Structure 1
């Protein structure tokens, strides 16, 4: 173990700073170059083998067979290992830089690299430059996870990785930097330029050393010099106009191809295999020169091709690129756009030469490359520089500028917008066209972030009652409300001052509170809220509408909102998920007084969870609504995605069988959704759910979350009761639970639950719920837990079961107020058909969580059931205290957390 001082110094060294950013940019450039060289060599070797095989054997057999098999293999790798690796990859990088939650990791980089080698080697008319950009960005994102970096620093590194990938692919470092500035980040800050320049330079140099130039056009053109004269200006303008029109048509064709593949409802491997087969058949019918994309491009720019070969090349490349890209194959559009541009430029050059006798068709071919590239990518400056860097020919600068700018302006007037933005919108991701520098503090208001459920005290409460309220809650202050209107606020500091003054315990809060507290309106921006918090040196602000208290906002709420946005987890960031889609459902007669929603996600806990649901449904005469949610990626539509429902239907049929045995109406449904919490909330609204019952694993690995993203959302937003059940690993409450065996045993039960006098469904022999511990301190959630107890204790051996009610008090309290305990015990002992032994005890301890854990361990309780103390206990749970302690330290007992229905005032 390192000494504390050394660990602190190491953490200081790892903190993001300019020098570490430069070092990280060098590493990113190195690995981006290595991946680019590997992709070039791998795809080149496979492509050469494919071309050689087509000469040895009949091309009409070899090329379609290779395209079909390699395409299927590439699609299978992407679908099984990293669906994010499909397509070009540049839209994914652009979305990730806009804080959209899209996965960029080492796994994505490796799958993208291998699948792109296979796909490009199969003969698909796609380029390797898009994948190298994606791989470089994914590697940079992985580096940012290995080293502690800020979100802004991470974005800079991802952009540098993307630039390095492009620079390594084209051997063009300036192009890599310009692409970052012009397309990805649109930022000219020192850190952006510095890291992008270094990473792109390292990437280009290493790529040249290891792989040589990817397109040595300047060496090819030594025998065919370029030229430009003023009389040729109209023809370069014509070239720009044609490139703008045909490039826009190409972009529209890409979207149409995506729509076509989605309509035929094939899996990704089959789509890419179909594209490979069609491409193989088409290439087999074309001359042998068309089997090598790089050779075809060089053949055009050298001026050796006849005009009709250029026309055939343009049409064939146009169609085959649409066929390949629409399938979702891992490949880019840079290389195809350069081939299309060179063919189009060559045709214009040949026409100009035949009309005037001057000019050079290779010059037009090179200018056409830049023009078509600027239309597809909408980066005219990058398009000009990329061709210039590949040729190092200054005679091309003016033709490139004329053609690229004219093509860009023409395309913007015909079909404005970048193809990459269109692809993102096709997948449901809408980026801001004009990013603002104001950020979150200006975008969100107090109403967006505030806590709507506020724990308050009454103005007529006594000082003694206020002290008890503070002792039962973690809050350091309470708003004072009279007739629903905010009249003051009281804090722990106020209580200390009152104690020093020696006021009697029956003093009213209206006499000691701080009247007219500082407040904010619900439409106040977070920037204004922070200003007020700092101006008055306070930690919380009541949010009022007129004088009515509607919420409270703290510094922690603002920090959590910032963290959510930086992680891409807020509704404002990224694509809005589409509504969930019901793909399967069954309905029973609606004869119940309410509905209980059971989420069946884990087959291992489905049987005991259904027992819980049946016990509650019998007691309250509810119907059961059992749901399975199938999650799909954001880029797929829930209404259009094919899913397999066989396993889900088997699990739901188990619930239907149990319902018939127990005479409980059971409805089932399977929903396809982007987000689990959204699907459940939609079900709650559509089916008028009264209670949600779901399993809980007891912890979460998601930063900033307590129960997990979905459960946290349900606790905050679900209007009905929410019950979470965390089953013990072994022993009490889960004695070696075998889900299938328990299901079979429960399925054989023949219990009549239609009559209130009928016995409750017996618990499976694998379960034991005899000793119940219920920590409580009043409040709506504690009451909700008590109301559920009579139904749930029937899951154990009722005559021998025991319910222990406890309330935790500070050790300094001489005479604790046990009114809440007495009321709860009175309710349970007077409840009909409840034969369990009910005891109540006051526990003195400084920590609620520690006392609960100790009680469970020393008294061997099977179940711990938590309500909220005037929301205080639940607020501690949401902040990560109670659930974390119980889940990590009381593994063998079942934990139930109850949040009562949200009441609208």
Structure 2
């Protein structure tokens, strides 16, 4: 109901503002930052309310009931408060037990775990608030910072449901709420951010950092303004400077070892206490009430400073307590925390661990000062405070920053680091792993094992599954032509481009609306299309793609690199990717160690596409570059030049030192030729285990339209047609592939200074995609000659009947209108296509032969007869082999 009302309000609001303004305001990153501010504000207010509530109930328990004897008042408060808190949790939100940090961690690790009781919602936040006020205010030895994390995450999760978002963004929103809760609980924004990254998300992407930092900052500011200046530490303590010298290092190491051992026992004790409480014969309210009564009775028997947590912290920190009192405080706080947390009460472990660490640190500091006159007990107390918390939660970095933010003392950083690192290492030996993971395991939760479908959606990106050949409409296309194209196509929508730049989309629904407006037939498409369509980037995961498909109820999404359309991804593409994984046919998705770029140059990206030229042989490279530049110039493409440096398999490409002097010299030649042809040239040198793999990576990263390679004309590798690299690229490269074998009349020795001149072309045609691709290259190829002539040849088997040359003549007429030179059409006869083409090339002295005659894929035809290979091997002229860009139905 709320979402329906929200949608109605949104529709009304969008009608009041221009469309472009709304598109700008609703940019995902701007919405994310705005929502982060709101999450920080709400989490900060919740933390302040929790702090004030605990202070009110705790003050009533300690100061406002003097008429009651202490031995009766404190146990009674613990009993009643624990009973009411347990009833609230048991009745309204059973998942509100404990600190809540483990619940948040489970939700972030597996957002689909709602059926296991980890749901984050407003009810949970409200119950957590009230039960924590009752538990902490009634004297149980638990803190409020863990619950603020849980409440912040629950509030953020509720807000994310009001505005539909992707699963990835929802995780970031929940993490931002948790970070804001911790930042508000300690008035420490940096600590909140680090805890979310170090313990909860393990993600440092730009959007995650932005939302978490902003939410933490706002939460801490709200808490500091409304709830107090610091974390209830004595002001004189936080204003003092820590004292540290080299003589302290052995005692700090000793403190780290003791902290690590005690924190490991503490983690084991928490688990044992929970298991013991499960065996008690009464429910959650009774267990919490019993823990409250025990805590009250124990505190009643101790001095007055033990009767509230704030007083105990000040008593330990100010130095008034002696060794005996500090030791008693350490033991009592340790035991009562285990009792309280094991009962299932709502409360956190952050504050108790900080107090325990402070007590242990002061105990070591007082001992070293008494025995050896070395050390400052206050410095040891603060160092132990951070170390104990870091060793329990396994977040040493967050622990160091929390204490530093509380004290704002740079002199404390080094002692903190020494003790925290030592404690962390020792604690891992005593009780390995995070306490929160152990708590989740006790509830039957384990880290989710990603399914094949989940692996596909999270590991693959749009560039790996998209269709690179996209049917598009030009933005200047007339409306009547658009109508005609739709009537002949099964597609329900087409991207609209202007010089390969995506500018809009047109769908059948748009045409239906247009027909009701009765627009003129010559109306340009740019006036009726939908501008700024929903798009994805090549690096977006399939999780994000699938979310957008569902969110906007569409069947396909354009893939853009900047504004350039590079492909389209559909639901069927995603299904096929999953199918390949399930059937074991997903070799193209197999992750191997990628190549490593060590040299890059970039010209302005002003072309409509790109031609990739891998360069290997310095002798033929200038000729190949002239060949590529001619194609790029004719098609308004950019030139991408690649040099691959191969390294042994046992060495990592990113860690292998290589010399790029000769490679850069070769790429400078490419830049010079590009300037001569007025073509933008991009160059790069990659270090890789495999040349073909490096080329495939470049094809994906740079969104290449045509791949041009040199070929020596044969191979000795058994089972290969053209060679190891060529065969692999013909199989796997989705773009158009062009192989060039230079003839004996091309001056290879003087290629650095001579110009490539190819005047007489023999083109073997026969229909099909490869033949069409070869013919499309001719306008660029003929620019390599001065007085170009082209002969189109179609080979017919010997027969007494007249051959059907209608296709040959029609192709010649169409090509003659495009080329400046003369085009001739002449049928040829022979039992072998290869023999006929080779004889024609030799007898009529042609400079180059262009092969694109197969109706099947070039490699498929080669496997059935090796026709292209036979022509290239036997012909001493320059031979150009063309394989058209692959489609979904291609066999290759």
Instruction: Give TM-score, length-normalised by structure 2.
Output: 0.49
